[in-house]
Structure 1
Amino acid sequence: MFTVEQRDAVRDRLLSLAGGDAAIVGAAVTGSHAVDGGDRWSDIDLVFGVEGSLETSMRRWTELIYRDFDAVHHWDLPAGPAVYRVFLMSDRLELDVGFVPAAEFGPQGPSWRTVFGHPAPEKDVLAPSRRNLTGLAWHHALHAGVCIRRRRWWQAEQWISALRGQILALACLRLGHPTSYAKGAHLLPAEVTASLAGTLVRVLDEAELVRALDAATSALTTEISLVDPALSARLAPVLAAPPAGNDHAGST
């Protein structure tokens, strides 16, 4: 496991190398280190503004990171004009390097600290839509029920877990906390999270999955009722009803 000193040394060396790369016209630290300094387990998040071909710069930097920083694997996460190349190091350190065209180099939110270069003005970041979060939640609830009827225990558990994630996101949105990846879940009051404990699947059998799904749909309609009681009243009887039929064929 990497130490704080090792992680910080890697970050500082990468930024120094970026400063000497003619194709890198801007660099920024993002993520927790740009806001509150992170903690013992925080990874490295960087963004490079690239003049010229992204593909060429990404290839050169990938070779460098494997050669000089002992990377063992990487994968890409496209995000608009940027590509975030995510590396795993041999000491379990995660390194995320965003490569973005120079003209698009700039903050996408508050988690940004410019190291060098001239970033474009910050773009407005759209808040997640309550309507979409709610829609995903009832979608997941329906599919969980169907998977239980099809006796697909693992798939049903996956949908119940996904439903719980949407409930957490809705609660975080209501209370002004981060909504993605449960980043604001630890900030939720106990009365919110306590009701979700019952949504955890303890064993993969039909009775337990039905119990957990019932707890999740109840928690969902309770959460929705705090903002939109009429919608909660419309959804509750639909989600409480068992899925029709007992067809084990087909797919969700």
Structure 2
Amino acid sequence: MFTPTVRARLRGELIEAARADGEVVGAALVGSAATGREDAWSDIDLVLQVRSGVEPEEVADRWTVAFYERHGAAHHLDVVAGGVLYRVFLLASSLQVDVSFWPEDRFRATEPGFAVLFGEPQPSSEPAGLDVSQEVGKAWLYALHSRSAIARGRMWQATMMLDHLRDQLLVLACLRHGLNPHHGREADRLPPSVLDALRHARATTMALPELSRSHQALVRTLIDEVALYDHGLFAKLNAPLGVLSRFDA
């Protein structure tokens, strides 16, 4: 397990590496370290501004070699969002390090916590919000699959689909209450009445009757959530969601 001291030392080394890299012209910290919320479990979030005319993927690949050779990386994955490459490293110590590689003309703050270390960022922009209608669509899609899995006696598939449905309900509730829905970061701040309903709706066993009960409770919660969000959408979805909550042949 990593310690805050080890994390701070590595962060310092990465910042110095960024300053010494001729193809990196700017850097910033984001996440908990930039907002004063860092604790013993926090990761490292470093944003790099890549010089114009240089491919960010090439810089990322060079940095990746260093992570494996010098910093004890065990694995990594890529996430591309908004045309920006986010490379996420898992170190042997279990420390997560996120390094994003931004084209020079796109380097900017997209969240409140953006502590510039060096370089000239572009004017900040608001991150694109989630499309609530799209998130509702994901929820009823998971509900469709949970219903059919239960009807077919596929307990593990049903359990997975019910978990996804519950996660979508958390996303919708967070959006309605103005909380950050990403990875459940602020789900614990939801009102007790919301969390209690989802807690009671969660299946306590993998027995089919209990999975059926959970499915029905979660779909009813989805109906309530849609009604609170948009009366027009509720008018369209109330009937099919009501049918979806049942297991009629």
Measured in 2, the distance between the counterparts of 1:166 and 1:211 equals 18
Matching residue of 2:7: 7
Counting only pairs closer than 5 Å after superposition, residues 1-252 of structure 1 correspond to structure 2 as: 1-51=1-51, 52-229=54-231, 231-232=233-234, 235-241=237-243, 242-243=246-247, 245=249
CA RMSD of aligned residues (A): 1.7
Q: Is the 8 A contact 1:198 1:216 kept in 2?
A: no
Q: Is the 8 A contact 1:160 1:199 kept in 2?
A: no
> Identity over aligned residues, as a percent?
37
**Structure 1 position 226, deviation (Å):** 2.5
Three-state SS of the structure 1 residue aligned to 2:229 is coil
Q: Is the 8 A contact 1:83 1:99 kept in 2?
A: yes
**Structure 1 position 229, deviation (Å):** 4.6
**Structure 1 position 157, deviation (Å):** 1.3
Measured in 1, the distance between the counterparts of 2:229 and 2:77 equals 39
1:98-148 deviation line (CA, Å, top 9, x unaligned): 112112111222232111100111123222122222222122111211111
Measured in 2, the distance between the counterparts of 1:204 and 1:37 equals 38
Unaligned 5+ runs, structure 2: none
Q: Is the 8 A contact 1:85 1:96 kept in 2?
A: yes
Distance 1:66 1:106, change over 3 A: same
The residue type paired with residue 215 of structure 2 is: L
| TM-score, with structure 2 as normaliser | 0.92
The residue type paired with residue 59 of structure 2 is: S
The residue type paired with residue 57 of structure 1 is: V
**Structure 1 position 207, deviation (Å):** 0.8
The residue type paired with residue 15 of structure 1 is: I
Q: Is the 8 A contact 2:57 2:85 kept in 1?
A: no
The residue type paired with residue 166 of structure 2 is: R
Measured in 2, the distance between the counterparts of 1:199 and 1:112 equals 38
Moved more, 147-156 or 7-16: 147-156
Moved more, 91-100 or 33-42: 33-42
**Number of residue-to-residue matches in the alignment:** 245
Moved more, 147-156 or 13-22: 147-156
Q: Is the 8 A contact 1:29 1:115 kept in 2?
A: yes
| TM-score, with structure 1 as normaliser | 0.91
Measured in 2, the distance between the counterparts of 1:54 and 1:230 equals 44
Three-state SS of the structure 2 residue aligned to 1:215 is helix
Unaligned 5+ runs, structure 1: 246-252
1:208-227 deviation line (CA, Å, top 9, x unaligned): 11011111111112222223
Measured in 2, the distance between the counterparts of 1:164 and 1:178 equals 16
The residue type paired with residue 152 of structure 1 is: R
Measured in 2, the distance between the counterparts of 1:147 and 1:20 equals 55
The residue type paired with residue 68 of structure 2 is: Y
